[in-house]
Amino acid sequence: MIPLSYYIMVAIVLIGVGVYGITVKRNLIRILISAEIIGNGVNMILIAFSTYSILFTMTGQTLALLIIVLSAGHTALGLALIMLFNRRYRTVDLDRARELRG
Amino acid sequence: MLVIDLEMIMFMFFSAGAIFSAVLAVEHGEIVYAAFSFGFASAYVAGIFLLLDALYLAVIQLAIFTGAISVLIIFGVLLIKREKRGLSAEPTASPKRRAVGFSLASSIVLLAFVLIMQVPWPDAPPESNLIHASSLEELSLSLWGIYALAVNLVGVFLLSSIIGCVVLLRKEKDETVIQYRQKSGGRGENG
């Protein structure tokens, strides 16, 4: 069997890649993709803990399922906001969002 | 001691593929390929879910992340107009920003690795979990038992996000039609 720490390490690397993408990239769609990568890493940690734990056998899987469904919703909403931003400013550059004043 | 068996080989394959595809999704110059890479990364993560005996969640991951979300992102990219100066309107990050982001991400990963090394994690799941982990009945009992309120709230969130998307993008459509008619000089009304 594979030790639990290996799964956590892979998930942490995925979260690190996502954090790098959110911090460095200025394209809004790429930031959305990076957030989804972080979500994948978090789901992996939850499921690994639920499989390796005696007490919380199904808790991690249930939470991961809810997170997956929530990811679909916030991606759709985020893309709608990005398209609205693009129509108004003709760009997807995050730095232009600093001009937003409501 | 590390034993190389078929499961370990599959774990290495899936994890290497997931990390490589995730890096491609963040760093690829063309954003359509980045969205494809994200789909591949999600598929590899679904493979890791299979190794963890979470069969149902692997299927859900494939259906929603690889199927729905990556296709949604690709459609979003296609609907956004490109700028003339470069591919997919990608603004370049400054070296300072890149260095700050890389140091932040690597410090998070290193700190987490150091903390992981301090804890004696189990090498194998308990025998009783192997029966329950892939059971759909247990998952549905958990979903509609203590997490029933959360499931309902997620449903409300999905409904509100659908309504929000429609409200956000509907007004602009009328304006686009008016602009199109003005551009075509009223030809749209005649035929």
Residue of B nearest to A64 (CA): B57
Residues in chain B within 8 Å Cβ distance of A95: 91
Residues in chain A within 8 Å Cβ distance of B42: 36, 40
State the average pLDDT for chain B.
Answer: 84
- The predicted structure's pLDDT at residue B97: 86
Task: Answer yes or no: do B138 and A58 touch at CB < 8 A.
Answer: yes
By the CB < 8 Å criterion, does A97 face chain B? no
Segment B2-18 mean pLDDT: 88
By the CB < 8 Å criterion, does B13 face chain A? no
By the CB < 8 Å criterion, does A37 face chain B? yes
Structural domain boundaries in chain B: 1-87, 92-121, 135-191
| pTM across the whole model | 0.87
**pLDDT tens by residue, B83-116:** 655 445 566 678 888 899 999 999 999 999 999 9
Confidence tier at B132 by pLDDT (50, 70, 90) = low
Task: Answer yes or no: do A71 and B11 touch at CB < 8 A.
Answer: no
Segment A78-84 mean pLDDT: 90
Dist CA B90 CA B85 (whole Å): 9
Q: Rounded to a whole number, what is the distance in Å from the CA of A82 to chain B's nearest CA?
A: 9
CATH number of A4-89: 1.10.287.3510
Confidence tier at B180 by pLDDT (50, 70, 90) = low
Segment A83-97 mean pLDDT: 81
- The predicted structure's pLDDT at residue B187: 53
CB interface of B with A, residues 84-113, below 8 Å: 88-91, 93, 97-98, 100-102, 104-106, 108-109, 112-113
Dist CA B189 CA B191 (whole Å): 6
Dist CA B51 CA B67 (whole Å): 20
CATH number of B1-87: 1.20.120.1200
Task: Answer yes or no: do A8 and B121 touch at CB < 8 A.
Answer: yes
Token readout for B172 is 């602009």
Place of tokens 């899987």: A61
C-alpha distances (whole Å) from A34 to each of A87, B141, B168 are 23, 33, 23
Question: Which residues touch B10 (CB under 8 Å, ≥6 apart)?
Answer: B47, B51
The lowest-confidence range among A8-12, B76-80, B106-110 is B76-80
Helix runs in A1-102, H state only: 4-24, 28-52, 59-89
CA torsion B33→B37→B43→B45, rounded to 10°?
A: -160
**pLDDT tens by residue, A17-73:** 999 999 998 888 999 999 999 999 999 999 999 888 887 778 889 999 999 999 999
- DSSP designation for B93: P
User: What are the φ and ψ backbone dihedral angles of A27, each rounded to 5 degrees?
Assistant: -80, 125
The lowest-confidence range among A5-9, B125-129, B148-152 is B125-129
Dist CA A42 CA A15 (whole Å): 7
Whether B3 has a pLDDT exceeding 70, the answer reads no
CB atoms within 10 A of CB B104: 16
- The predicted structure's pLDDT at residue B190: 45
Task: Answer yes or no: do A23 and B68 touch at CB < 8 A.
Answer: no
Structural domain boundaries in chain A: 4-89
- A15 vs B137: which has the higher pLDDT: A15
Task: Answer yes or no: do A2 and B8 touch at CB < 8 A.
Answer: yes
Beta strands in chain B (DSSP E): none
- The predicted structure's pLDDT at residue B80: 82
Helix (H, G, I), strand (E, B) or coil at A27: strand
Segment B121-128 mean pLDDT: 80
- The predicted structure's pLDDT at residue B189: 45
| A-to-B residue pairs, Cβ atoms closer than 8 angstroms | 246
Confidence tier at B177 by pLDDT (50, 70, 90) = low
CB B43 within 8 A of CB B70: no
